[in-house]
Amino acid sequence: MAFLEELYKEIILTHYKSPKNRGVLADATVSSGGHNPSCGDQVELFLKLDGDRVVEASFDGDGCAISQASASLLTEAVKGKTVEEALALAKKFRAMVVEGKTPDPELGDLAALSGVAQLPSRVKCATLAWNALEEALKGSK
C-alpha cells in the first residue's frame, strides 16, 4: 500500500510540474471552464471534436496540484474517445473520488487521484476539470 501511495503521489506531482496538453487550443470546437473558490483553482478546458470523437484536448489554469494534475490527466485520458466514452469515464472518475469506489481499470493513471475520496475538502479540486468536460460535451450534442 505504501508503494502505491508513493506511486500515486509521484504521478500527481509529475502532472502538476510538467502538465500535458497545457495551453489554449486555438482550433477547439468546444470549451468550458470553472473555478473552485474554496481553493482558488481555475481550469479552462478545450476540446476539438471530429464528429463525435475527441481528437484534441488541452487545458489552461492555475491552482493546487490536485486540480491541475486532474486536468492534465483528463486531457490525456479523453483524447481519441467518443463523447459517450468520455462521459462514461467522467462518471467512473466521479464514482472514485466522490463515492470512494475502487478505481475502474479504465481510469488508468487517474487512479492516482483515488486518495482524494478521503479528503472531502479536495474533492472539488479533483472534479473541477471533469465538470468542465461534462459541460463542454453537453453543449456538443
Q: Which residues bind Zn ion (CB under 5 A)?
A: 39, 41, 64, 67, 125
**Gyration radius from the chain CA atoms:** 14
DSSP letter at 82 equals: B
CB of 91 to Zn ion, least distance (A): 22
Question: Which is nearer to Zn ion, 63 or 103 (by Cβ)?
Answer: 63
Query: Smaller CB distance to Zn ion: residue 110 or 125?
Result: 125
| Residue nearer to Zn ion on the CB measure, 69 or 125 | 125
Cβ 105 to Zn ion shortest distance, Å: 26
Residues 6+ apart with CB under 8 A from 128: 34, 35, 36, 41, 43, 63, 67, 70, 71
CB of 126 to Zn ion, least distance (A): 8
CB of 35 to Zn ion, least distance (A): 10
Q: What single DSSP character describes residue 133?
A: H
User: Could you give the CA distance from residue 69 to residue 61 in angstroms, rounded to a whole number?
Assistant: 11
CB 5, CB 33: distance < 8 Å: no
Q: With respect to Zn ion, which residue has the nearer C-beta, 54 or 126?
A: 126
Determine if residue 19 is left, alpha or beta; phi over 0 gives left, psi from -120 to 50 gives alpha, anything else beta: beta
